[in-house]
Chains A and B, each alone.
Chain A
Amino acid sequence: MLSETTRAKILELIQKYPHKRTALIPVLYVVQAELGHISEPAMTAVGELFGLSPAEVKEVVTFYTMFYRAPVGKHVLQVCTNISCMLCRAEEILDYLKTKLGIAVGETTPDGKFTLLEVECMGACEAAPAMQDNYDYHFHMTKEKIDRLLEILR
């Protein structure tokens, strides 16, 4: 299920650190980069490489919010609603995105373009309300900025 290049990358990571298992999280990132999410068969495959049971891998995958267990959209839009963003009206940003995309938090648009998530503080509180599109941070969000962003990403 994993491509040759991905396998090669994984084998390299497994050699890299003083202890093999330290590579588990880096490897899960590599798997997610290829498959878009980490499926149960992928967990089994990773487990075999590490000598871990599927359950042991699953325990790690499910603990971390940045590992997705089901497919997500091309752009995962993550709106921070934690305290500093909340003080700067983050809810309005989230509500506007819900309406504009016609989906609830946790859902993906039917065209597979966008997934909407509500997230905890992302370390950009000086630029509240802040959000992420995949790994890109967007600062001082307004409705106008959302309009523009979605235009670019579509």
Chain B
Amino acid sequence: MLERVLTKNWEKTNSHKIETYMAGGGYEALRQVLTGGFTPEQVIEEVKKSNLRGRGGAGFPTGVKWSFVPKDPSKPKYMVVNADESEPGTFKDRYILERDPHMLIEGLIIGSYAIGAKTCFIYVRGEYYHPAQVVEAALAEAYRQGFLGNNLLGSGYSLEVFLIRGAGAYICGEETALLESLEGKKGWPRLKPPFPAVVGLYKCPTVINNVETLANIPHIIRRGGQWYAGLGPPKNGGTRLFALSGHVNRPGVYELPLGITLREMIYDHAGGIRDGKVIKAVIPGGSSAPVLTAAEIDVKMDHESVAAIGSMLGSGAVIIMDETTCMVKALARITKFYAHESCGQCTPCREGTGWMLKILRRILQGEGHADDPDHLLAIQGNIQGMTICPLGDAAALPVQSFVTKFRQEFDYHCVHKRCDIESACAVPA
């Protein structure tokens, strides 16, 4: 039996209500921390021991991130929950928000306590209007129970939480753009360093964590960092919510141990490829992650193993493509997204994404030049590493990997002025 940690309440009726959550042991970890004499340092130590790594994309060790917050009491500190969830292919945080908001809330309280924050913001993407309402209702319940507000459980620790909705901008998922947005500005990423742990919201020390990351915290406290670390391979603690979409029989969110292979995920859990078709490619970690070919699906899904074959675990969004997929068209759609979402601050990202899209469109329209695939590779190479935020790399890496790994398809389009796949590929508008 696979251990279900994050999804254990999802099938319960009224799983979003505080009574349901508490009946399953919810808020006991919080009680343990606040009334059991846990110091903030001890919480951080336990989280370090757990080998929990951020679920938002970068996979940074959570305990280490928390320990970067200065202890200096002169400035207020902030905890920010990243519920922007906009990386194409990603939809797992929505399930936590809708089905178990208290797991997140308990986690954010413990996290806020650990870093010494008295104010926390939950930044939810604007489209998640209904999920945001579920979270608002859950926050009200937590306030009524005395888990939020003044002097929590008589511990002397106080915490206020605000939910703010974004308004449609992928870039606001990037942590510093998110902070700008929380300050009531357009979402232009900031240069790092300084890192938000030192200079963040309102120029104060701030920790930004993903929804799923924080939902793990109550379990780590209750059952111990060592137990959590043992669920996954070395340096990859816990289970993970993988969001599977595309050409599989049963797309959805699957809670699986880190280190499971892509093949097991696709065939044993998601029911294999639709209509008996053959798998062609997989994007293992959201649209920014370099694509893998069918020959690479025995990779173990932990940070190091995926990195070793040149891709990344990213947001845990696995997008599966079967043999009917035109890779030129798929890449054009992904590139269109980045061109649209570039904030325009850096020239390589702003111009480069537009140029790549233009070239991909002309290839699809049967007007490609024989050297267009090389142009694409050159342009993406001039974006990588040259920008303020990682969106530039996120736009470049798919181009690099698609063109390199499926070069013959791009060449075929350029030479024959059409697709070699049955499904005619129209141009994304």
Contact = CB atoms under 8 A, between A and B. Distances in A.
Interface of A: 16-19, 21-26, 28-29, 50, 59-60, 63-67, 81-84, 86-88, 91, 105, 118, 120-128, 132, 135-137
A135 B333 contact: no
Contacts of A66: 126-127, 167-168
Contacts of A122: 127
Nearest to B163: A26
A125 B183 contact: no
Interface string B400-429: 000000000000000000000000001011
Contacts of B71: none
B53 interface: no
User: Closest 10 interchain pairs by CB?
Assistant: A24-B184, A64-B167, A21-B184, A65-B168, A66-B168, A63-B186, A125-B245, A135-B129, A84-B245, A121-B88
A126 B251 contact: yes
A28 B429 contact: no
14 contacts: A21-B185, A23-B184, A25-B167, A29-B167, A65-B167, A83-B334, A84-B89, A84-B246, A120-B337, A121-B87, A123-B94, A125-B88, A126-B91, A126-B252
A123 B86 contact: yes
Contacts of B317: 125
B321 interface: yes
Nearest to B426: A91
A83 B91 CA distance: 13
Interface string B103-120: 000000000000000010
B297 interface: no
Nearest to B320: A87
A103 B170 CA distance: 27
A132 B183 CA distance: 28
Contacts of A123: 85-86, 90-91, 93-94, 125, 127-128
Contact of B341 (A28, A91, A120, A135): A120
Contacts of A24: 184-185
Given A81-B333, A123-B128, 5 more contacts: A21-B184, A22-B164, A81-B428, A87-B247, A137-B130
Contacts of B119: 18
Contacts of A63: 169, 186-187
Contacts of A120: 86, 88, 170, 337, 340-341
Most buried by B among A18, A63, A88: A63
A118 B164 CA distance: 25
Contacts of A86: 329-330, 333, 428
Interface string B156-191: 000000101111111000000000011111110000
B208 interface: no
A25 B93 CA distance: 22
A83 B319 contact: yes
A84 B85 CA distance: 15
B253 interface: yes
A123 B91 CA distance: 4
Contacts of B340: 120
A122 B131 CA distance: 13
A98 to B, nearest CB: 10
A105 B244 CA distance: 29
A64 B86 CA distance: 14
Contact of B89 (A17, A67, A121): A121
A104 B412 CA distance: 32
B206 interface: no
A75 to B, nearest CB: 15
B267 interface: no
A83 B251 contact: no
B384 interface: no
A66 B171 CA distance: 14
A21 B183 CA distance: 6
Contact of B182 (A22, A126, A136): A22
Contacts of A18: 76, 119, 202
A17 B94 CA distance: 25
Contact of B166 (A25, A126, A136): A25
A144 to B, nearest CB: 20
